[in-house]
Amino acid sequence: MGNFRYNRRRQVHDNNESTTMKISTMIPVAVAFGLTVASLPLHAAETGDAAAGQGKTSMCIGCHGIGGYKTAFPEVYHVPKLGGQHAAYIVKALQEYKAGNRSHPSMRAIAASLSDKDMADLAAYYAADAVKSAAK
């Protein structure tokens, strides 16, 4: 009976050591990963040039510049206003259209033609646009 208690305690102690070692190894990796991921959208929004973005809006204003506009292709869809949106949101949405994670065919085609710099510039322009407000 004495050996059983000793062996059981020893086994529990050994398991705690190996678990502690795994956690202590994983914490720096998780922190580094989290900091890298958290900085990605901010970096894209910070590098946008609103003045350059204004010159790139011709592909946007045909739909997003008309108040209350609804598309008829591929289905009736309310087109959101872009003015006043957060830059990081606009960049993320455009990246998702380009990657195929969002399904609107017109937006996928437009986003496919944009570079990361174009996306950041457009986002900076629409985020700074105080005249228009986000979809009402």
Q: Which two tokens stand for residue 110?
A: 């437009």
pLDDT at residue 110 above 80? yes
pLDDT at residue 65 above 50? yes
* Per-residue pLDDT reduced to its tens digit, 2-20: 555 555 555 555 555 555 5
Q: Mean pLDDT for the chain?
A: 76
Residue 64 pLDDT level (bands cut at 50, 70, 90): confident
Quote the CA–CA distance of 114 and 48 in Å, as a whole number. Answer: 13
| pLDDT given for residue 62 in this prediction | 86
Poorest-confidence range of 18-27, 48-57, 121-130? 18-27
One DSSP character per residue, 87-128 reads: HHHHHHHHHHHHHTSS--HHHHHHHHT--HHHHHHHHHHHHH
Query: Is the full-model pTM beyond 0.85?
Result: no
What's domain 50-128's superfamily in CATH? Cytochrome c-like domain (1.10.760.10)
Torsion of CA 123, 111, 65, 63, to 10 degrees: -160
